[in-house]
Amino acid sequence: MTHMSYKFEIENLNAWFGSKHVLNNISIKIREKAVTAVIGPSGCGKTTLIRCLNRMHEIVPNARVSGKVLFNGIDIYNEDADPVQIRRKMGMVFQKPNPFPMMSIYDNVAAGLKLNGIRDKKRLDEVVERSLKMAILWDEVKDDMDKSGASLSGGQQQRLCIARALAVEPEVMLMDEPCSALDPIATAKIETLIRMLAEDYTVVIVTHNMQQAARVSDFTAFLYLGELIEYGSTKDLFENPKNELTEKYITGQFG
């Protein structure tokens, strides 16, 4: 197996909400062009972890971070680092699909570009089409691009959000329980999409559904009460976990 490099090298990451210590000394290396799942019971800090990767954690009042997150080798929490630039390199998809309600499907996908000053219609058309194709939504909406983003079904809305994130050509896709609000068929479509995305992007997905983590990911990290308990290839972790707590969690003996 050829040497795969690490997209993220997280060193001693700590995070707080006010005085509440939600992430405790997390150190982990995320492989590039692979799907890494983060699992754990509610409140274990998995959402906080990925929000630290694109510096979204700190926008909440009283939120604080310490430690290093090396992205492509450079610490994103460096004093000179610009959070806006960092976020442009990472696409984020949230638990509840959130297309911009007052914009059409076309405008939704183009939003990331338009809001950054790109006006060239031809280029926007290209990007919108390409992104919707990547998100496996193009065929379903190509004749209705002017309809409101909110007029789509839940699964379609989530794919729209994925297309919107892909349009700015990020290097990483961060997904926070993207299928929680969706029915099984929509979930299956998105899981297939995630595996396809892994060929070109580094994907980090938070999920509370262990079977989903087992299906979709190459590597899995298990968090509990803000600490990293175990991290390894999905195959090994689900067949023969090294930590007893991991074993208990994935066999459903707690949580």
- Whether the CB-CB separation of 126 and 146 falls below 8 Å is answered with no
Q: Looking at the DSSP assignment, which residues form a beta bridge with residue 11?
A: 68
- Choose, by CB under 8 A, the member of 14, 64, 70, 111 that binds another protein: 111
Residues whose CB is less than 8 angstroms from the CB of residue 107 and which lie 6 or more positions away in sequence, other chains included: 100, 114, 149
Query: Quick check: 79 binds another protein (CB under 8 A)?
Result: no
Q: Smallest gap, in angstroms, from Cβ of residue 19 to another protein?
A: 16
| Residue closer to another protein, measured from CB, 24 or 95 | 95
Q: Which string of DSSP letters, residue by residue, matches 27-71?
A: EEEEETTSEEEEE-STTSSHHHHHHHHTT-GGGSTTEEEEEEEEE
What part of residues 88-107 is at the interface with another protein (CB under 8 A)?
88-92, 94, 96, 98-102, 104
Among 214, 221, 228, 229, binds another protein (CB under 8 A): 214
Segment contacting another protein (CB under 8 A): 84-92, 135-143, 177-185, 190-198? Answer: 84-92
CB of 51 to another protein, least distance (A): 9
Amino acid identity at 118 = I
According to the binding rule CB under 8 A, does residue 135 interact with another protein? no
Stretch of 24-32, 64-72, 200-208, 234-242 contacting another protein, by CB under 8 A: 234-242
CB-wise, 24 or 98, nearer to another protein? 98
**Interacting residues with another protein between 146 and 205 (CB under 8 A):** 146-148, 151, 161, 164-165, 168
Please report whether residue 254 would count as binding another protein according to CB under 8 A. Answer: yes
Alpha helices in the chain (DSSP H): 46-53, 83-88, 105-114, 121-134, 138-141, 154-167, 184-197, 210-216, 234-239, 244-250
Q: Collapse the DSSP code of 214 into the 3-class scheme (helix H, G, I; strand E, B; otherwise coil) and give the result.
A: helix
Q: How far apart are CA 56 and CA 79, in angstroms?
A: 16
Task: From residue 16, give the alpha-carbon distance in Å to each of 19, 64, 78, 111, 134.
Answer: 6, 5, 18, 31, 36
- Binding residues for another protein, total number by CB under 8 A: 47
Of 142, 44, 158, 169, nearest to 96 (Cα)?
A: 158
**In the numeric block, which tokens belong to residue 192?**
């297939």
Q: How far is the CB of 25 from another protein (least distance, A)?
A: 26
Q: How far is 115 from 106, CA to CA, in rounded Å?
A: 13
Return the residue of 45, 112, 155, 226 that touches another protein, per CB under 8 A: 112
Nearer to another protein, 73 or 252 (CB): 252
Residues that bind another protein (CB under 8 A): 54, 56, 59, 61, 84-92, 94, 96, 98-102, 104, 111-112, 115-116, 146-148, 151, 161, 164-165, 168, 210-211, 214, 238-241, 246-247, 250-254
